[in-house]
Structure 1
Amino acid sequence: MNQAILFSPQASWNNEREMVEFHAQQSGMLIECFISINKLKQLSSEPVINEDSAVVVFESLRFDIEELAEELIEDEEFSQDGKVIID
């Protein structure tokens, strides 16, 4: 794992994007990261039926999801608005 990228322990449901939101920090820059319910369903055998279960599943897969986000950050694969989207 790249020590230059740190992840916040908080994760929450983002109503606007309908995704789980979490944050990373690289060289002092805050990076907003999001993962879709569909991606959570692909990664998990647990049901993802609403916002609460999405956050629970995210927490159970946090390490793997952070690795996916880290790869995107290292490859500078940001959305047009500077976010990391795992979809």
Structure 2
Amino acid sequence: MNQNILFADRCEWDDKRQAVIFQAQQSGQLIDCIVSLGLLSQLDDTKVSKENALTAFERVRFDLEDLAEEAIENEEFSPTGEIVLG
């Protein structure tokens, strides 16, 4: 694990995007990481909806942090500076 990338314990549901958002911090910069319901369902091996998305996120948090860390290290940022997973 790269100690230069830290993850906040907080996550939230974004109704507009139909995704869970969590944050990473690298060199003092906050980076929003967006996780689709599809990826959550795939990683959690369940049908994830907005009602259970945050619970599913917590079950697969470490896998998602690994994916986000890899994407950050590879500089796979969206045009708006976010990391979009799935």
TM bucket normalised to smaller: over 0.9
Counterpart of 1:59 in structure 2 is 58
Structure 2 counterparts to residues 1-87 of structure 1, below 5 A: 1-48=1-48, 50-87=49-86
> Deviations along 1:18-70, whole A, 9 cap, x unmatched?
1000000000000000100001111112331x223111001000011000000
Structure 1 counterpart of 2:45, one-letter code: S
| In 2, Cα distance between equivalents of 1:43 and 1:7 | 19
Structure 2-normalised TM-score?
Answer: 0.95
| In 2, Cα distance between equivalents of 1:45 and 1:86 | 16
Structure 2 counterpart of 1:69, one-letter code: A
Mark the runs of 5 or more structure 1 residues left unpaired by the alignment. none
SS at match of 2:51: helix
| In 2, Cα distance between equivalents of 1:41 and 1:62 | 13
Output the aligned Cα RMSD: 0.8
| In 2, Cα distance between equivalents of 1:68 and 1:52 | 23
Mark the runs of 5 or more structure 2 residues left unpaired by the alignment. none
SS at match of 2:47: coil
Structure 1-normalised TM-score?
Answer: 0.94
